[in-house]
């Protein structure tokens, strides 16, 4: 029996999973929580302490070992994925100068807009691979925000790291900035790193954005690699704290959604929706995939070497469902139980799910949620159904846009925590997208980390071999032909409203409300 452990850092907690590579069983899990620091005066502010996170990792690992009933020192390898772009600035000794700018920290929106404006004006190649817009959630924007707002700490900046790289470096005891592990997944999707143009974007371009960035690329040194590369070996102090053996290998990390996709058993041609508080959409395209406007990242080798990792997302999913339930004084499960028999458009509502902005394909943080078709009889359950439909139709817009770059979509995988307990959502996605939706029988969170830990321990020869042993089987939701046809009609209205209100497109919306009314009355008066 060979044991491996994987950690998945989420927004509010870290989950550690211990798996047996011989039979693929999960032997134990542990969760450690940590606070998210918000500001009562700035809704865009979201920070988190590195110390809080590492303390939670220790607790979660100890809990997982206890639940598994194993000797932690027999675990052969450890791997960790994290949220991103979650950025921390450190000094030359790797000591934090600030808390993490968490992925959901949007304070750097002005900096991102300036990077985008100059990159467009100068035709920067790297911006094309970001979908034409540099996001306020990404690395350079957050680093520039820190430099502008912390003049007293500028001279102490040694480097900035993505969360996954900081965790790996910390666990391995790496303090030499030149030896830092740098994830191609993280740096490619959030820092415009690309092998095709020699790595990071040209320093001269960054200096023209703001002289405060002058020389910054020289500080983003390290060993750039994929998750098949080893970051280092577990340092004695962390081995003692976590109950593991010193010296076990730790691979270069990656973003949680990318490894969650691996944990579903994804393969080329899959689109994986990692549905949680928000949704991260991961697809595997061929090396011939070309970047398309609005798709926020296409990075060769970021998920599986030899294929292009394509990333998109929705800024609020579970958070939106929870908000609807909270306003109604109930919970999501109760509302979803009331809509189990709803047909396409039955609520008579159409929901643009921009309650936390639009990450893809419009890339606009300044948008807000819109619901069309309200009347005096509508309920919170009706809004919930419209929100689920809106999420699914937004995913269709994203998948259709990916197809413009040459992506061939064979199947849809709904991963993350929500699909495990929401059959209504899974069926709506199947009907809207017109493809079978595969849902892992149990959560794949942590499985992807264990896959890469097992590869680091040399238990498998390939990612596919590890997936075949460790990934859970799936339930399949097949599209209903009649429902798919009705959703194709509803999607036309959604697409028009989406691009008219969010993208400045021309559309005649005068027939929208009568059309929604007809969807509602058709159900009640067949």
Residue 526 has a pLDDT of 46
Name all domains of the chain by residue range, CATH numbers in brackets.
Answer: 3-255 (3.30.420.40)
Per the confidence metrics, is the pTM higher than 0.75?
Answer: yes
418 SS3 class: helix
Residue 196 has a pLDDT of 86
pLDDT tens-digit readout, 179-191: 999 999 999 999 9
Instruction: Retrieve residue 421's tokens.
Output: 């307990």
Measured CA to CA, the distance from residue 420 to residue 422 in angstroms comes to 6
pLDDT tens-digit readout, 81-95: 999 899 999 999 999
pLDDT tens-digit readout, 309-359: 999 999 899 999 999 999 999 999 999 999 999 999 999 999 999 998 898
41 SS3 class: coil
The residue ranges of DSSP E strands in 13-157, in sequence order, are 13-20, 26-33, 37-38, 46-48, 75-82, 87-90, 100-101
Cα torsion angle, 258, 259, 265, 267, sign = positive
Please count the other Cβ atoms lying within 10 Å of the Cβ belonging to residue 22: 11
Sheet (strand 100-101) strand order: 37-38, 46-48, 100-101, 87-90, 159-162
User: Which residues of the chain carry a pLDDT beneath 70?
Assistant: 523-526
Measured CA to CA, the distance from residue 354 to residue 475 in angstroms comes to 30
Buried b (16+ CB within 10 A) or exposed e, 277-308: bbbbbbbbbeeebebbebbbbbbbbbbbeebb
Measured CA to CA, the distance from residue 24 to residue 341 in angstroms comes to 36
Owner of token pair 């029996």: 1
């Amino acid at each position: 029996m060979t044991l491996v452990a994987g950690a998945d850092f989420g927004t509010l907690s870290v989950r550690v999973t211990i798996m047996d590579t011989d039979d693929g069983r999960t032997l134990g899990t542990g969760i450690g929580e940590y606070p998210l620091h918000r500001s009562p005066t700035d809704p865009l502010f979201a920070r988190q302490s590195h110390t809080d996170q590492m303390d939670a990792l220790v607790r979660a690992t100890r809990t997982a070992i206890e639940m598994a009933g194993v000797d932690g020192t027999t675990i052969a390898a450890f791997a960790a994925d994290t949220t991103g772009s979650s950025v921390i600035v450190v000094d030359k000794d790797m000591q934090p100068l600030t808390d993490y700018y968490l992925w959901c920290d949007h304070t750097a929106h002005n900096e991102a807009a300036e990077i985008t404006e100059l990159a467009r004006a100068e035709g920067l190649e790297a911006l094309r691979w970001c979908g034409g817009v540099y996001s306020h959630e990404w690395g350079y924007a957050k680093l520039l925000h820190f430099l502008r707002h912390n003049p007293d700490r500028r001279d102490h900046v040694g480097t900035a790291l993505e969360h996954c790289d900081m965790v790996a470096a910390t666990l391995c005891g790496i303090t030499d900035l030149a030896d830092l592990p740098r994830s191609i997944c993280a740096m490619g999707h959030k820092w415009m790193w690309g092998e095709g143009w020699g790595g990071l974007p040209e320093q001269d371009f960054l200096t023209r954005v703001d002289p405060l960035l002058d020389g910054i690329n020289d500080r983003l040194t390290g060993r750039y690699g994929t998750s098949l590369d080893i970051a280092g070996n577990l340092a004695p102090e962390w081995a003692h704290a976590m109950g593991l053996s010193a010296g076990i290998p730790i691979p270069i990390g990656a973003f949680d959604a990318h490894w969650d996709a691996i944990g579903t058993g994804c393969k080329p041609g899959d689109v994986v929706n990692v549905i949680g508080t928000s949704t991260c959409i991961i697809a595997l395209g061929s090396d011939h995939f070309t970047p398309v406007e609005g798709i926020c990242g296409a990075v060769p080798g970021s998920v599986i070497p030899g294929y292009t990792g394509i990333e998109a997302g929705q800024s609020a999913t579970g958070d939106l469902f929870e908000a609807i339930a909270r306003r109604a004084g109930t919970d999501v499960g109760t509302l979803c139980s009331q809509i189990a028999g709803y047909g396409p458009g039955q609520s008579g509502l159409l929901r643009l799910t921009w309650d936390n902005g639009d990450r893809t394909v419009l890339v606009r943080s300044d948008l807000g949620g819109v619901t069309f078709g309200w009347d005096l009889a509508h309920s919170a359950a009706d809004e919930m159904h419209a929100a689920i439909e809106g999420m699914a139709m937004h995913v269709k817009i994203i998948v259709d846009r990916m197809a413009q770059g040459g992506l061939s979509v064979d199947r849809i995988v709904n991963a993350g925590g929500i699909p495990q307990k929401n059959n209504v959502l899974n069926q709506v996605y199947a009907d809207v997208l017109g493809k079978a939706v595969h849902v892992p029988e149990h959560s794949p969170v942590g499985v992807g980390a264990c896959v890469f830990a097992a590869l680091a321990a040399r238990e498998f020869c390939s990612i596919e071999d590890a997936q075949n042993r460790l990934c859970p089987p799936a339930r399949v939701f097949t599209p209903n032909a009649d429902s798919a046809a009705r959703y194709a009609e509803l999607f036309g209205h959604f697409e028009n409203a989406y691009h008219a209100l969010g993208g400045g497109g021309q559309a005649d919306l005068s027939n929208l409300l009568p059309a929604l009314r007809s969807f509602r009355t058709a159900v009640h008066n067949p």
